[in-house]
Amino acid sequence: MTVERREPRSLRYHDLSGSRPLPAGRVLVIGMLAFAMAAVLNADGLYELASRQPVGWKRDVARTAVAPACFVGRVTHLKDVRGAIRGAADKSVTDCSDGARSGSDSFVEPVTTTTVGPGQTTEPPVVARVPSTEEPLRMWLGGDSMTIELANAVEAAVVDRPEISLTTHAQVSSGLSRPDYFDWPAHLTDEVLPERPEVVVVMFGANDSQGLDIDGRPYQPSAPEWQAEYRRRVGVVMDMLRGDGRLVIWVGQPRMRDAGFDQRMAVLDGIYSEEAASRPWVHFLDSRPVLSPDGDAYQAGTGGTSLRQSDGIHLDTGGAARLATAVLDAVQEQFVERRPG
């Protein structure tokens, strides 16, 4: 019964091979020094990370903690090394010296719109046409990570349809709550609208149920102030997207597995639906019946097809394919055939 215990061969690669072992205390000192130097070198990256924390005390504490590293990095110019590397790699650069923005400033009423306000235009809100291979429909689709699979599915669906020219942009962790992380109004204005898309499909909301910074005060999604501000932002984006007969398809949030999260998404869906109703160029696409085909409840799959990913939030390929079909049907009905629903 006695078991012979020898050093397993699998552990031999840990042999020091000439390396000098160190006392644990010195390892700790090296680690702490490395973290301190890395904090200065990566001050801008740390600031980005701190800014991504939920609005409120966590973000304030994180930004305060980063401030000394930013100061040292700025004075010594050590933090410029990271900027240079990211610039060479064609990546965006944030400067922690720039200071914080509240986010509300991004959502200002558009001034360069073809209309003066909802329902007061002299031209039809959506100018329909039948696209062709020679003159394909310019379609743009974007939003948060919910649109990653959706974009893939729409791309797959139009791969043999040269009459549709599709551009997509899925920005992970983004939404309308935190333009300090990703500024959708600025992106739409600077990158999307200049390409004059005829159909814009957006899907926001999954990351939006978090604190908002309104006039310097944090508000949570249950607060009337939060909902009023979020409604205003939705309206601003809808108005911003109007112009040149463009159709906007605003995709609502599907049922979520977590009951609390599902309830919060239902509130957002209500806002999208109501704001779209007063704007004839916006079509609200309710994704709930599409992704819960067998009833009004969260559904992971149907008929052997997986609709949602294991997190109970994101779309799986099967769900994305269903939603892509619904989007393209809406394009056909609302734009090509122009049958407002």
Partner 1 sequence: MLFPTFEFAAFFSVVFVLNWLLRPHPVPWRLMLLAASFVFYAAFEPAYCLLLAFSILANQAFGVAIHRAVGEGARRGLLVAGVVVNLGLLGYFKYADFFVESVTDVLGGFGIDTGWVSLEIVLPVAISFFTFQALSYVIDIYRRDAEPSPLLDFAVYLSFFPHLVAGPIVRARELLPQIRERADPRRVNSALAFRLIMAGLFKKVVISSFVAAAIVDDVFAVPERYRSIEILFAIYAYAIQIYADFSGYTDIAIGCALLLGLRFPQNFDAPYAALSIQAFWRKWHMTLSFWLRDYLYIPLGGNQGGERRRDLNLFLTMVIGGLWHGAAWTFVVWGAIHGVALVAERRILAAREAAGKVPGTFSPVIRWAVTFHVVCLAWVFFRADSFGAAFTLLWRLVAAPGVGEAVTPMLVFVVVAMVAAQFVPSEAVDRVQVVFSRSAPIVQALALAIGLLLVDALGPEGVAPFIYFQF
Cα–Cα dist 170/240, whole Å: 19
The closest alpha carbon to 153, from 337, 291, 310, 4, belongs to: 291
Question: Is residue 267 exposed (0-12), middle (13-18) or buried (19+ Cβ within 10 Å)?
Answer: middle
Q: Which is nearer to partner 1, 204 or 230 (CB)?
A: 204
Q: Which is nearer to partner 1, 87 or 119 (CB)?
A: 87
Cα–Cα dist 232/234, whole Å: 5
Q: Which is nearer to partner 1, 38 or 186 (CB)?
A: 38
Q: Spell out the alpha helix ranges (H) of 216-314.
A: 224-241, 259-277, 288-291
Pairing of strands 212-214, 217-219: antiparallel
Using CB under 8 A, list all residues that contact partner 1. Answer: 1, 3, 5, 8, 10-11, 13-14, 16-31, 33-38, 41-42, 45, 48-49, 81-82, 85-86, 89, 91, 149, 152, 155-156, 159-160, 172-173, 300-301, 304, 310, 317
Q: Which is nearer to partner 1, 113 or 302 (CB)?
A: 302
Q: Which is nearer to partner 1, 22 or 130 (CB)?
A: 22
- Contact indicator for 250, 202 with CB cutoff of 8 Å: yes
Q: Which is nearer to partner 1, 18 or 216 (CB)?
A: 18
Taking the complex as a whole, how short is the minimal distance between the CB of residue 161 and partner 1, in angstroms?
A: 11
The closest alpha carbon to 51, from 35, 70, 27, 32, belongs to: 70
Task: Give how far Cα 279 sits from Cα of 235, 246, 270, Å.
Answer: 9, 12, 15
- Contact indicator for 151, 170 with CB cutoff of 8 Å: yes
The closest alpha carbon to 109, from 232, 291, 209, belongs to: 232
Q: Which is nearer to partner 1, 157 or 336 (CB)?
A: 157
Taking the complex as a whole, how short is the minimal distance between the CB of residue 169 and partner 1, in angstroms?
A: 13
Taking the complex as a whole, how short is the minimal distance between the CB of residue 5 and partner 1, in angstroms?
A: 6
Taking the complex as a whole, how short is the minimal distance between the CB of residue 205 and partner 1, in angstroms?
A: 19
